[in-house]
Amino acid sequence: MTAEGTGTITTHLLDNGMSFVAAPDPTATTVAMSITWRVGFADDPDGMPGLAHLVEHLMFQGTRRHSRQDYYRTYFGSGGCTNAYTRTGHTTYHAEFPAQLLPAAIELEADRFGDFAPTRQAVAQEATLITREIAETTGARPLGGFPWEQVQATLFADTAHSHNGYVAPPGPSSALPAACREFVASRYRPEHATIALVGRLDPDKALELVGLGVGRLAPASEPAWRRPCPVGGTAGRVVVDAPGAGQWHATAFGWRIPESWLIPRRGAALAVLAALVHGDGSSGLPRRLRACGIRGVVRADFGMFGNLDELVEAAYLTIQAYHGPTQRQTVREAVQATLETLASHPPATEVRTTAARLVNQRRRALADPLDLAKLLAEQRTLWLDAQRPWAVLGELTATDAAAVAAAARWLANTDRAEVGTRILGVGR
């Protein structure tokens, strides 16, 4: 094993290629654990959309040694918690529990990933739950739909990143359990994963437990599979009909961010810019839209879910606004005018205040054990840098009006994708 100490964060590389990150806190009474695998929506096999998300759900169905109830008793029965989520390029499993349960938790996680054997009944059950989950969230469309779901498909039409994996999984079939097992065997590879532990723990003892647990998962027996990264950019305009009873239409604008804009200072400037556009300050889009008689909700995100930590692949920035049936062109003009104003006259005070607010949000996340564990696991897996969560603080603090102006100027003069939704029967 190799090891490198970086302050209170210790990182080790296990023999099977998995990374281990520990952040001990002697004042804590719990341990937060997060395991991130570099596999997500973009890895869904052809003709099987939603498989990565389905596998994530099936990981909670238990194994031949440990029933589903064993997992829930260990985590929820002790007053702790556990959950997971799938993103475009990664999947994260996380939990928090009393410190004395760390050996049991490590054993459960090793068994979860090492003895994945879902039954046809379990697959059918989880597929039904996912279909219901989607229907109750994005499918409900309380306003004018969620066009940012389609932005990726327009921006990354030339790669696997165009695929929206948050969909109902394939219909039940006798072949689906085998497809799930093959997916885990080929994509859940230890060399593309990190386990992070935060809280009351001894790093050396925790490392020993992990080495005897997930550290024994079989390493890859074939060359590492690499998902092709998107290169170049695409733009276009589409309108999607959204069933529902809402009265608001919606339009989302998306920019595909090239690698040259993902270096630290520039990436932070894009994050601050998105927050300025979203905000209700003098330079924000909401105020400009209200002046045009549009009072719909505005959101702006840098990254798939507005997270500065999810930008290694398929990076994009979106701006979205809800509006009336005949106001789409007004929204287009308002977005362009907002960017041009920020490019020519960035408000220095608002930039500093917005950057400081983002820094405070990040500090709150770093102070929460579970949030920190997730950040550490994702950063080590995606960026190969467990210190990045703290580096972002400096990048945001250093962002000034000139950096934001440059970012706004680039967006204002760059082709974008536009995705609009309209509520059926309400108009265009």
Tell me the C-alpha distance between 203 and 182, whole Å.
34
Domain boundaries 237-423, corresponding CATH code: 3.30.830.10
- pLDDT confidence tier of residue 143, bands split at 50, 70 and 90: low
Residue 252's beta-bridge partner residues? 320, 419
Q: What number is the average pLDDT over the span 389-412?
A: 94
Question: How many residues would you count in the chain?
Answer: 428
Q: What's the confidence (pLDDT) of residue 240?
A: 67
Taking only Cα atoms into account, the Rg of the chain, rounded to an integer number of angstroms, comes to: 22
**Tens digits of residue pLDDT in 312-334:** 556 788 899 988 888 999 999 99
Q: Which residue has the higher pLDDT, 255 or 228?
A: 255
Residue 195's beta-bridge partner residues? 20, 35
Report strand pairing: 9-13 vs 30-37: unpaired
Q: Where in the chain is the domain with CATH 3.30.830.10?
A: 2-140+158-216, 237-423
CATH architecture of 2-140+158-216: 2-Layer Sandwich (3.30)
How big, in percent rounded to 5, are the helix, strand and coil portions of the chain?
A: 45, 20, 35
Question: Quick one: DSSP state of residue 308?
Answer: T
Tell me the C-alpha distance between 317 and 334, whole Å.
17
Share of the chain above pLDDT 70, in %: 83
- pLDDT confidence tier of residue 220, bands split at 50, 70 and 90: low
Which stretch of DSSP H or E encloses residue 356?
Answer: helix 348-367
Which stretch of DSSP H or E encloses residue 240?
Answer: strand 237-242
Q: What's the confidence (pLDDT) of residue 139?
A: 55
**Tens digits of residue pLDDT in 156-213:** 776 766 777 888 887 767 789 999 999 999 899 999 999 999 999 999 999 999 999 9
Asked if residue 271 lies in contact with residue 395, where contact means CB atoms within 8 angstroms, the answer is no
**Tens digits of residue pLDDT in 95-108:** 999 999 999 999 99
Question: Quick one: DSSP state of residue 307?
Answer: -
Tell me the C-alpha distance between 209 and 312, whole Å.
30
**Tens digits of residue pLDDT in 326-384:** 899 999 999 999 999 999 999 999 999 999 999 999 999 999 999 999 999 998 998 88
Q: What's the confidence (pLDDT) of residue 385?
A: 83
pTM of the model: 0.88
At a CB cut-off of 8 Å and minimum separation 6, what does 414 contact?
233, 255
Question: Quick one: DSSP state of residue 248?
Answer: -
